[in-house]
Amino acid sequence: MKNQFKLALLDLDGTLWRDGQVIPGAPAFVERLREQGTQPVFFTNNSSRTPKEVVAALERCGIGAHPEEVCTSAQAAAHALMARIPAGSTVAYVGLNGLEEALRAAGFTPARAQGGNLHGASPDDAAAAVIGMDQNVTYHDLAIITRIAYRLGWFVLTNSDARYPVADGTFIPGNGSLGALVEYASGVRPIVTGKPDSSFVEFALLRYGVKKEEAVIIGDNIYTDVLAGAQAGVKTIHVLSGVSFPDATDLPQADETVESVANIFRQEPL
Ligand SMILES: [Mg+2]
């Protein structure tokens, strides 16, 4: 595929790095985008890290980036709330720095569910409840979120990933599994803001001021990255450097499939 794009929405894990190691060719690929006039955006379902923390992780991989180039599912969650509740509202959440900072930046008052209560607020004051990944979340934290979701009739989930891959080739439960507990107990369905939901892509297009034909999504996961593009009408390039689903059928089709980002938009053959 020829580079005809103003914006490249880049997945991180399995696309630019894997198990904390840079994917060979990824730093040169990001530089190539810049030289070709394409704005790289680090487009991640991970709601735990702040944009500055993502930049620091990219820099450890030799990839130069700015915080404004990071677009997270936590920021999309905060944006989704802006259309639904007044500025300044108390927002109950579980999650880490990235979600707390995104809620604050959007003008809300984040209140962490902690040990059966909300930190610094009463659960009755919460105008919304949001779930982002936190491996230290407890039963009592989720109980508070569940009760608020039940009272409001809705809650927000930063992404619906059932599992996260870990280095030994197995997995741990992902954010979607936390959301499933709350959904099951409350009987309320979440508003999901991460990939593959097309709202995340639309948020990024709006934020960076480009049309869908001017953007491309590049990622390793057919069920998040490629499906997000298919649902939003944005072209996709699937890289084989991350997760694979050998038994999968009925796969969403990428516009192009390559070994890794090292192969993308090169002007000379490898
Ligand atoms: Mg990935």
Domain boundary among the residues 192, 219, 247 is at: 192
* Predicted confidence (pLDDT) at residue 168 exceeds the cutoff of 90: no
Ligand 1 centroid – CA 33 distance (Å):
19
Q: Is 125 labeled as catalytic in the residue annotation?
A: no
Q: Is 19 labeled as catalytic in the residue annotation?
A: no
Residue 71 lies in a domain: no
Domain boundary among the residues 165, 192, 219 is at: 192
Residues 188 and 199 in one domain: no
Which of 13, 141, 161, 197 is catalytic? The answer is 13
Beta bridge partners of 21: 18
Residues 143 and 95 in one domain: yes
Domain boundary among the residues 143, 177, 192 is at: 192
* DSSP-based three-state secondary structure for 55: helix
User: Number of structural domains, the chain?
Assistant: 2
Q: Is 13 assigned a ligand-binding role in the annotation?
A: yes
Residue range 30-49, pLDDT digits in tens:
999 999 999 999 999 999 99
Residues 226 and 255 in one domain: yes
What residue numbers bound the domain in which 132 lies? Answer: 81-192
Ligand 1 centroid – CA 43 distance (Å):
10
Residues 204 and 245 in one domain: yes
Residue 54 lies in a domain: no
What token pair was written down for 153?
């009739």
pLDDT on residue 270: 57
Read off the pLDDT band of 269 (50, 70, 90). low
* Predicted confidence (pLDDT) at residue 66 exceeds the cutoff of 60: yes
Residues 160 and 201 in one domain: no
- Measured CA to CA, the distance from residue 25 to residue 120 in angstroms comes to 46
Residue 50 lies in a domain: no
Which residues, in sequence order, are CB contacts of 206 under 8 Å at separation 6+?
Answer: none
Residues, CB-to-ion distance under 5 Å, ligand 1 = 11, 13-14, 220-221, 242
CATH value at residue 246: 3.40.50.1000
